[in-house]
């Protein structure tokens, strides 16, 4: 194959990756677990970009790391198919549609100031109650199957409740990791086939170093410089860097990042979170909405772009950094035990967020409780699509207000 043919083939594969992920970005409803199912059907069964064992190994890696697991899997599949440009194409294709929809809602949210608009916003807040309760219920069943991990979840809940803020969440994750090493060494994880990605150890170390440098350095530079744009990037970067266990876990982190400093209020925050359940693609695009609606500049399209890049960047950096070392790391019992403890702590963190800010901001009377409970049942027992539950719960809230 000549150099010209090689370039054309590479460009063709990048375009192929973008088209495949754009279609998924427009149609993938249902959250991170559903996204992984869509990816398996699209890239394992139909296109055969990766085999079943390799895909399972890739999913295991992305669930081990902090960050949005489904977006990390998509990024890695693009990297596998078409190199670095393919990875970027996969991320853009999968993320762009829902980010645009969230940005459109951000610009329209200010018009929801009449009685009808207030009722719609309140209905979206109740959607957030049902969705977060479903996430806590499902994650608790999977991640706290024994007394030890249930105890770690409760310890994390107490830690977050007493300390509050982002540092309380960091402390809870630390409690989970240390408790996991002590209490969760009994389970043996089966060894899978190795992943074959063309990422050198030098590149991996550089990405891990950049991840750590930004995590530690951004708060210092933001506080000393006084630049609001840097503070915004830091807030969303830290939120993305500390998410273990799925997209819903970002809720308490973002609440601490944007509501506690007074950049926005709970009602606006939860309304956007409710809308995020009704759009396809990654839940992390909620950041685009928040970046657009916050009070201090940058906001609008620029704020949305800063927030969106910042929240995804740490998960993608740590994924690239982990790829060359994953096979050796996953064989260590201590690493497996720490991960089980962190996952249990995530349940406690999310349970604390279910109470505050989600419950206290949305449920103000018995009718609200009834709507939220009905939504929870529709999601967990009847397994209705989230978009249908969003439409039904919002309609009930509007009907009650008339």
pLDDT in tens, 210-257: 999 999 999 999 888 889 999 999 999 999 998 875 667 788 889 889
Q: What is the pLDDT of residue 1?
A: 53
Q: What is the pLDDT of residue 5?
A: 46
> Would you place residue 357 in the very low, low, confident or very high pLDDT band (cuts 50, 70, 90)?
confident
Rounded Cα distance between 385 and 157, Å, is: 29
Tell me how far apart the 2 most distant CA atoms of the chain are, in Å: 71
Rounded Cα distance between 394 and 366, Å, is: 16
What is the distance, to the nearest Å, from the Cα of residue 144 to the centroid of all Cα atoms in its chain? Answer: 20
Structure confidence by residue, pLDDT tens digits, 192-213: 556 668 889 999 999 999 999 9
Rounded Cα distance between 53 and 173, Å, is: 30
Residues of the chain with pLDDT > 90, as a percent, come to 42
Q: What is the pLDDT of residue 10?
A: 55
Q: What is the pLDDT of residue 314?
A: 96
> Would you place residue 2 in the very low, low, confident or very high pLDDT band (cuts 50, 70, 90)?
low
Give the residue-averaged pLDDT of 88-111. 90
Rounded Cα distance between 104 and 99, Å, is: 9
DSSP string, 229-282: HHHHHHHHHHHHHT--SSGGGHHHHHIIIIITTTSS-HHHHHHHHHHHTTSSS-
Structure confidence by residue, pLDDT tens digits, 62-87: 877 888 988 999 999 999 999 999 99
Class of residue 323 by CB neighbours under 10 A (exposed 0-12, middle 13-18, buried 19+):
buried
Q: What is the pLDDT of residue 301?
A: 95
Q: How far is CA 42 from CA 97, 207, 373, 385, in A?
A: 18, 29, 35, 20
Higher-confidence residue of 371 and 69: namely 371
Q: What is the pLDDT of residue 210?
A: 97
Rounded Cα distance between 182 and 258, Å, is: 35
Q: What is the pLDDT of residue 333?
A: 85
Structure confidence by residue, pLDDT tens digits, 116-131: 777 877 887 788 788 7
19: Cα within 13 Å, side-chain hemisphere: 7
274 pLDDT more than 50: yes
Q: What is the DSSP letter of 259?
A: I
- Residues 6 or more apart whose CB falls under 8 angstroms from that of 19 comprise 93
What is the distance, to the nearest Å, from the Cα of residue 114 to the centroid of all Cα atoms in its chain? Answer: 32
Q: What element of type H or E holds 107?
A: helix 69-109
Lowest mean pLDDT among 35-39, 284-288, 396-400: 35-39
Q: What is the pLDDT of residue 7?
A: 47
DSSP string, 160-193: HHHH-HHHHHHHHHHHHHHHHHHH-----PPP-P
Q: What is the pLDDT of residue 8?
A: 47
- Residues 6 or more apart whose CB falls under 8 angstroms from that of 205 comprise 321
Highest mean pLDDT among 1-5, 164-168, 201-205: 201-205
Domain boundaries of the chain, sorted by first residue: 97-401
Give the residue-averaged pLDDT of 174-184. 91
378 pLDDT more than 70: yes
199: Cα within 13 Å, side-chain hemisphere: 26
Structure confidence by residue, pLDDT tens digits, 20-68: 999 999 888 767 766 887 888 889 888 999 887 778 778 767 877 888 9
């Amino acid at each position: 194959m000549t150099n010209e043919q090689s370039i054309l083939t590479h460009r063709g594969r990048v375009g192929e990756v973008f088209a495949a992920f754009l279609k998924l970005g427009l149609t993938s409803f249902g959250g991170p677990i559903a996204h992984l199912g869509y990816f398996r059907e699209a890239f394992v069964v139909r296109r055969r970009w990766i085999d079943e064992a390799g895909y399972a190994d890739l999913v295991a890696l992305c669930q081990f790391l902090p960050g949005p697991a489904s977006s990390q899997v998509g990024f890695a599949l693009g990297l596998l198919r078409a190199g670095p440009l393919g990875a970027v194409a996969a991320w853009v294709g999968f993320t762009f549609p829902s980010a645009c929809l969230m940005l459109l809602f951000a610009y329209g949210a200010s018009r929801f100031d009449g009685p009808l608009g207030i009722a719609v916003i309140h209905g979206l807040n109740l959607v957030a109650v049902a969705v977060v309760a479903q996430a806590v219920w499902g994650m608790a069943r999977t991640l706290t199957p024994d007394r030890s991990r249930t105890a770690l979840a409760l310890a994390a809940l107490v830690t977050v409740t007493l300390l509050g803020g982002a540092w309380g969440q960091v402390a809870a994750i630390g409690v989970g990791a240390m408790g996991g090493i002590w209490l969760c060494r009994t389970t043996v994880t089966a060894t899978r086939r190795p992943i074959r990605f063309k990422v050198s150890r030098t590149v991996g170390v550089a990405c891990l170093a950049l991840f750590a440098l930004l995590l530690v350095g951004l708060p210092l530079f933001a506080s000393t410089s006084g630049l609001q744009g840097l503070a915004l990037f830091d807030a969303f970067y830290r939120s993305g860097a500390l998410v273990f266990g799925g997209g819903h876990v970002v809720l308490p982190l973002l609440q601490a990042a944007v509501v506690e400093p007074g950049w926005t209020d709970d009602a606006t925050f939860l309304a956007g979170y409710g809308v995020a359940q009704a759009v396809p693609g990654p839940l992390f695009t909620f950041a685009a909405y928040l970046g657009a609606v916050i009070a201090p500049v940058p906001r609008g399209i620029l704020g949305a772009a800063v927030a969106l890049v910042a929240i995804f960047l740490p998960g993608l950096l740590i994924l690239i950094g982990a790829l060359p070392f994953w096979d050796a790391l996953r064989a260590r019992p201590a690493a497996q035990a720490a991960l089980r403890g962190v996952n249990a702590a995530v349940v406690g963190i999310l349970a604390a967020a279910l109470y505050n800010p989600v419950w206290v901001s949305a449920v103000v009377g018995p009718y609200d409780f009834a709507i939220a409970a009905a939504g929870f049942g529709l999601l967990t027992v009847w397994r209705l699509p989230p978009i249908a539950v969003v439409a039904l719960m919002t309609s009930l809230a509007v009907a009650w207000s008339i």
